C-alpha cells in the first residue's frame, strides 16, 4: 500500500510516522507513506496557497490551483483508489471504514487547513470525505495520521500477531473485553480465575460475554435490539 498525504504543514505528521508500529511497517516495505508540502506548489514568489473568501467572512481558504496541480502531478505516477479529504463535516470514521481502506492499493489524503479548501476541489476531485469526530482541529494533519494508523495496522504482517487486530474493539461491533498480565495478584487485586486455568474454550466464552456486557454498558448504539 502507498499513502500520499498533501498538507500545508506536513511536519506536524512526521513524528507519527517515524516511530513504533508505523515506522516498522514502512521499514518492512509493507506500506509507503509520503508527506507532500502543498507550499511547493504555491503561487507567486511567496508560494501562496490560500486567499480571501468570495463574499467576505473570517478565515482564509485553500486555493484550487496549488491543490489541483499537485494532485495532477501525483496522478501521473499512479492511479489512486481513493482521494480523501479530511474535514469535520465528512463521514464519521469507524473501524469498518478502516477495514475497507486497508484493502486499497493507493490512497491520497488531502488535509484541510485555515477555513478549508475551495469547494470546487471537493465537488470535482475528492472521492471521499472523512471526519474523525464532531469537533474542529487546527488542520487535517492529526486526523490524517489517525486514519493512516488505523488502516496501516490492519495490513498483513504489520502486527506481530495478525489475529490481534481481529480482536480489537469494533471489529465485530463489540468493545474489547478486559485484558490482564502478570502478576496474577497485586495489592489484593486479582486476575479473574478463569483466565489462569488454561481452558481456552471457556476463556473465549468469558471474553465474548464480557465484550457484550461492556458494549451494552458503554456503547449500546453498536448493538441491535436482539442483543440488548
**Per-residue pLDDT reduced to its tens digit, 182-210:** 999 999 999 999 999 999 999 999 999 99
- pLDDT at site 182: 95
Alpha-carbon distance of 42 to 15, in angstroms, equals 25
**Per-residue pLDDT reduced to its tens digit, 52-61:** 999 999 999 9
Banded model confidence at residue 44, pLDDT cuts 50, 70, 90: very high
- pLDDT at site 95: 94
Question: Left, alpha or beta for 220 (phi > 0: left; psi -120 to 50: alpha)?
Answer: alpha
Neighbour count for residue 212 (Cβ, 10 Å): 16
Q: What are phi and psi of 129, to 5 degrees?
A: -115, 130
Sketch out the chain's domains with CATH numbers.
Answer: 2-152 (3.40.1280.10), 167-227 (1.10.1270.20)
How does DSSP assign 153-218, residue by residue?
Answer: TTSTTTSSSTHHHHTSTTTTSSPPPP---S-SEETTEE--GGGGS--HHHHHHHHHHHHHHHHHHH
- pLDDT at site 165: 61
Q: Is the pLDDT of residue 212 over 80?
A: yes
**Which long-range contacts link 18-21 to residues 24+ away (Cβ below 8 Å)?**
21/149, 21/152, 21/153, 21/158, 21/159
Average pLDDT rounded to a whole number, residues 97-111: 98
Q: What is the mean pLDDT of the chain?
A: 94
Banded model confidence at residue 160, pLDDT cuts 50, 70, 90: confident
- pLDDT at site 164: 58
Of 71, 1, 3, nearest in space to 33 by CA:
3
Model pTM score: 0.88
What is the percent of the chain where pLDDT is above 90? 90
Amino acid at each position: 500500500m502507498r499513502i500520499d498525504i498533501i498538507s500545508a504543514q506536513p511536519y506536524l505528521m512526521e513524528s507519527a510516522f517515524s516511530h513504533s508500529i508505523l515506522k516498522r511497517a514502512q521499514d518492512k516495505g509493507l506500506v509507503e507513506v509520503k508527506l507532500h508540502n502543498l507550499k511547493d506548489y504555491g503561487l507567486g514568489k511567496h508560494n501562496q496557497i490560500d486567499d480571501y473568501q468570495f463574499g467576505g467572512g473570517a478565515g482564509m481558504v485553500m486555493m484550487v490551483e496549488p491543490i489541483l496541480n499537485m494532485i495532477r502531478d501525483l496522478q501521473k505516477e499512479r492511479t489512486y483508489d481513493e482521494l480523501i479529504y479530511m474535514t469535520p463535516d465528512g463521514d464519521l470514521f469507524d473501524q469498518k471504514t478502516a477495514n475497507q481502506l486497508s484493502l486499497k492499493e493507493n490512497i491520497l489524503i488531502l488535509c484541510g487547513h485555515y477555513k478549508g479548501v475551495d469547494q470546487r476541489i471537493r465537488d470535482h476531485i475528492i472521492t471521499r470525505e472523512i471526519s474523525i469526530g464532531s469537533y474542529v482541529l487546527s488542520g487535517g494533519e492529526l486526523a490524517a495520521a489517525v486514519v493512516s494508523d488505523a488502516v496501516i495496522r490492519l495490513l498483513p504482517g504489520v502486527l506481530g500477531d495478525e489475529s490481534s487486530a481481529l480482536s480489537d474493539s469494533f471489529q465485530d461491533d463489540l468493545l474489547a473485553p478486559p485484558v490482564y498480565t502478570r502478576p496474577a495478584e497485586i495489592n489484593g487485586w486479582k486476575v479473574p480465575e478463569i483466565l489462569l486455568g488454561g481452558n481456552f474454550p471457556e476463556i473465549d466464552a468469558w471474553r465474548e460475554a464480557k465484550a457484550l456486557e461492556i458494549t451494552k454498558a458503554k456503547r449500546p448504539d453498536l448493538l441491535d435490539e436482539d442483543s440488548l
